[in-house]
Chain A
Amino acid sequence: MRKSRLIAGIATALVAASTLAACGSGGGSGADDDTLTFMFRGGDDEKKAYQEAIDRFTEDTGVKVKMIVTSADQYAQKLQAAVAGNKVPDVFYIEQASLQSYVGSGVLMDITDQVAEQGVDLDNIWPYGVDSYRFDGTTQGTPDGKLYGLPKDIGPFAFGYNADMLKEAGVDRPDPDEPLTWDEWLDICKKLTQDTDGDGETDRWGTGLNVQWNSQAFVWSNGGDWTNEDHTQVTVDTPEFAEAIQFIADLTAEGVTPNPEQAQTLDTYQRFMAGEIGFFPVGPWDMSAYNDLDFEYDLMPWPVGKTGEPATWVGSLGIGVSNTTDAPEDAVKLATYLSTDEAAQQTLVDANVQIPNRIDTAKEWAGEVEKDDSLEPKNRQEFLDIAEDYGREMPASFTYGAEWYDELWVGIQPVIDGKQKAADYLAEVQPRMQELLDQSIAQAEQAAAAGSAP
């Protein structure tokens, strides 16, 4: 009896002790001192490509790296938990939109000087990519700001088409340099939309757009924008903006895109891959899946509105370094390696998940299609044109948080369903967005003040 009580007592004490220990520890950065931790997100393809790149890094430098990978939608939450628990990974992905708050909170390290020491030619990296992670305390994306990260990649969001379907319908391939107007494009969409098996239901559509990710191209090309130049005034209630949103909504009414029920059953991405949709957006990350399709696809400029100029967004994800890392030099080396090293970049480009970060490599990559006819997409140059010429950042990339921007999408469905006019909805949502943007500006100012105070 004594003995069992003793054991019970020890067990209790152990539980209590370990509880205390768990609370007491923390600090430090996860793994052993000589191992870097790298936290990122992505699917299997990406994980494999990164594993390869990192193995080579370890071989070259002798620095061991522990990879922590999460799914895309859990990443932000996990990273925040890691920061709150004082276990910031040494190197990690950072979103454009959260850069300012992470800098303000002292989580991200200013790597301007260390990167320069590495002897990297930043002029050979897409300026949009590098500048996205520059921040001068008030403005993000300016070439004069301090560097708080390097681009993992940039993602020019291009427009594409099913070349086989166009050919079958007797439509010429769209000219890579001469964009279609909205009306010309809509006509082709109507031609493509068909009931191929004659059961009375449409089973092939001209296109299938998602307003949240595709409307930027239409709004911008029509001369509209989400905010004014310095991101202080929400301008979604302009006629140009409304016209573009209405155009997208009317595609459903015209029947050239799957209706909401059909899109819910099988989303338009799947339908494009199944060969049921003519025109569809293509991001660089889509290439690994699209290259295996049993039809030919290619890229084209987005259809143009009033301005006559194509437009679209360029995404980017950055690689940042923790302010509290034990090995700042190695950590910066890893970030630089992943972002700019030729061999590392080649591994990622070969996996068809991104376009090269290095401009010279990217030009070579786009030129390869001339020599090898089997490569897809033929018009790789379109990605580069976007990166160099007509791509822009997402509306909320450089604001403090994206709540004001998300607000637009919450109630947009009735517009797409044709139950509400775009202009009416936009007039109604503008004040709410403005209020949220004002809040975000106030937060940015407070964060800047708090950051400089101590």
Chain B
Amino acid sequence: MTSTATPATADTRPPAPDPAPAPPRRGGTSRLHRTEKRWALLFVAAPVLGYLLFILYPTGFALYASLTRWNGLGPMQFIGLDNYVALLGDERFRQTLFNTFFYMIGIPIGLAISLALAVMMNRKIFGRAAFRAIYYVPVISSIAAIAILWQWAYNGDFGLVNQFLAIFGIEGPNWLADPAWAKPAIIMMAVWKGLGYSMLLYLAAIQSVPRSLYEAAELDGAGGWQKFRSITLPMVQPVTFFLIVTQVIGGAMIFIEIQIMTPTGGPEYSTASVVYHIWLQAFRYQQMGYATAMSVVLGLLILVITLIQFRLNRRNAGFVVD
């Protein structure tokens, strides 16, 4: 900053020998410092710029758009909080909000199953590697492909699920066409798809539990269940926390599987999620302003829920996320 001898153009080819006469003492370090600093700024600039352009600007834009009547094409018309007022009376929005949170029942179920699987996969059982791979396959598969396959599996007449149930003499429902069963059907699929990922994280966490803890417990005469409850479970708690937070956020934004498996939002709108409703309003009914207001509300809801989770987590366990 102090050097004035360097013309501005020199900045464009930075590492060239610095022509500025450096003070003899601190020469090496200060020159190095200066170039380093410049480089550092450049590197920092990239993500900051990206953040401004792709996060902050769109967020601000969305906030403004949510206060307008806008069809996504023409000029925006400022209408204050009208969209939010309309939202309060929107029965379908409430219904989709309910549906979306209903789907989250799948999160604890999925976590319990994947923890159980992780414990099993941690044993030296035959074909362990193969099982791990099999459970992970759904995670790397395209959600669109999976949704289509499950749509077939849920077919009322010939679907795999009902054929399987028929073996036990159970006559399965017409899953995706029955308002009572459509949501559970989607939950099952989501649990199945998420198992591999949660299992992998749990497995890694279990394997990093110090052996000495188990040995000490064994010396004290602890059984298998006691060891699991008092050592494994608390030790993997950070992973549980991470999974719950990320899955709640992801679950709040569930859309693709809904749109593919039930293109009309399901029987009597029983599978439509909030994002599905937003998408419909924005792109089918050209109410971009209103749809944006809904997504702002959804974003705030997710934020609040996540904050509550952090608070609860801090109180219940020593583990703190900085």
By a beta-carbon cutoff of 8 Å, the part of chain A in contact with chain B is 2, 5-6, 9, 12-13, 15-16, 19, 23, 76-77, 80, 83-84, 98, 101-102, 104-107, 260-262, 264-265, 401-403, 406, 409-411, 413-414, 443, 446-447, 450-451, 454
How many Å lie between the Cα of A264 and that of B157 in the bound state? 8
Residue B225 CB within 8 A of the other chain? no
Contact B157 A411 (CB under 8 A): no
How many Å lie between the Cα of A6 and that of B73 in the bound state? 44
By a beta-carbon cutoff of 8 Å, the part of chain B in contact with chain A is 14-15, 39, 42-43, 45-46, 49-50, 53, 69, 71-75, 77, 155-158, 174, 177, 264-265, 267-269, 283-287
How many Å lie between the Cα of A13 and that of B15 in the bound state? 15
Contact A19 B50 (CB under 8 A): yes
How many Å lie between the Cα of A6 and that of B42 in the bound state? 12
Contact A101 B42 (CB under 8 A): no
In the complex, what residue of chain B is closest to A432 when comparing beta carbons? B91
Contact A264 B285 (CB under 8 A): no
Contact B177 A264 (CB under 8 A): yes
Contact A261 B286 (CB under 8 A): no
Contact A410 B265 (CB under 8 A): yes
How many Å lie between the Cα of A104 and that of B70 in the bound state? 11
In the complex, what residue of chain A is closest to B86 when comparing beta carbons? A439
Contact B155 A104 (CB under 8 A): no
Contact A9 B157 (CB under 8 A): no
Contact B156 A403 (CB under 8 A): no
- With A105-B74, A265-B158, A403-B284 known, 8 other A-B pairs at CB within 8 A are A9-B39, A12-B45, A102-B73, A105-B71, A107-B74, A410-B265, A443-B71, A450-B75
Contact B43 A12 (CB under 8 A): yes
Residues of A near B53 (CB, < 8 A) are: 19, 23
Contact A6 B50 (CB under 8 A): no
Residues of B near A101 (CB, < 8 A) are: 71, 73-74, 286
How many Å lie between the Cα of A20 and that of B135 in the bound state? 42
In the complex, what residue of chain B is closest to A407 when comparing beta carbons? B92
How many Å lie between the Cα of A104 and that of B156 in the bound state? 46
In the complex, what residue of chain B is closest to A454 when comparing beta carbons? B75
In the complex, what residue of chain A is closest to B290 when comparing beta carbons? A439
Residues of A near B285 (CB, < 8 A) are: 401-403
15 contacts between A and B (CB under 8 A): A2-B15, A5-B39, A13-B42, A77-B283, A80-B286, A104-B71, A107-B74, A260-B174, A264-B156, A264-B177, A265-B158, A401-B287, A413-B177, A447-B74, A450-B74
- Cβ of A385 to closest chain B Cβ, rounded Å: 32
In the complex, what residue of chain A is closest to B69 when comparing beta carbons? A446
- Cβ of B56 to closest chain A Cβ, rounded Å: 14
How many Å lie between the Cα of A98 and that of B174 in the bound state? 36
In the complex, what residue of chain A is closest to B75 when comparing beta carbons? A450
- Cβ of A195 to closest chain B Cβ, rounded Å: 17
- For B43, B77, B264, B285, the residue with the greatest tally of chain A CB atoms inside 10 Å of its CB is B285
Contact A410 B15 (CB under 8 A): no
- Find B73's partner among A12, A83, A413, A454 (CB 8 Å cutoff): A83
